[in-house]
């Protein structure tokens, strides 16, 4: 079983910043910017070729919400969405990266980011 299925099953802890019936949004453990998040469908889909359009649309609607949250709470200056497949995909469970970008990079601890986003 891949690490994201284990997180969804509650076998591995994660810093969850958003959840609904279809997806879980967690903070990336190796962030490329404060608030780097992963949107993960709760049902296992391997990649872009495996996932259905309805779930894909839902994931992108959640990306808008998360983008708003990151802008409101972390004051990022831009957002990059990234989705990898095949040889560039590390975990073989579909996930969309939401990577906030800042004019000035000032990396803060993931725990601190989590506290800001949870309150």
Cβ–Cβ under 8 Å, residues 76 and 70: yes
According to DSSP, residue 88 is labeled G
CA distances from 14 to 46, 112, 116 (A): 20, 14, 16
Q: Which is nearer to Zn ion, 77 or 85 (CB)?
A: 85
Least Å distance between CB 2 and Zn ion? Answer: 4
Least Å distance between CB 87 and Zn ion? Answer: 18
Q: Which residues pair with 25 in a beta bridge?
A: 18, 39
Site for Zn ion in 28-67 (CB under 5 A): 44
| Positions marked catalytic | 95
Q: Which is nearer to Zn ion, 24 or 76 (CB)?
A: 24
User: Which residues are at the interface with Zn ion (CB under 5 A)?
Assistant: 2, 4-5, 44, 93
């Amino acid at each position: 079983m891949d690490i994201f299925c284990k997180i969804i099953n509650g076998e591995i802890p994660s810093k969850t910043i958003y959840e609904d019936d279809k997806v879980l949004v967690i903070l990336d453990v190796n962030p490329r910017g404060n608030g780097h998040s992963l949107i993960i469908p709760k049902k296992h889909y391997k990649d872009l070729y495996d996932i259905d359009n309805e779930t894909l649309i839902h994931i992108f609607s959640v990306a808008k919400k998360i983008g708003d949250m990151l802008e409101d709470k972390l004051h990022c200056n831009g957002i990059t969405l990234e989705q990898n497949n095949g040889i560039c995909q590390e975990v073989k469970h579909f996930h969309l990266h939401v990577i906030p970008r800042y004019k000035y990079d000032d990396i803060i601890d993931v725990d601190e980011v989590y506290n800001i986003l949870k309150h």
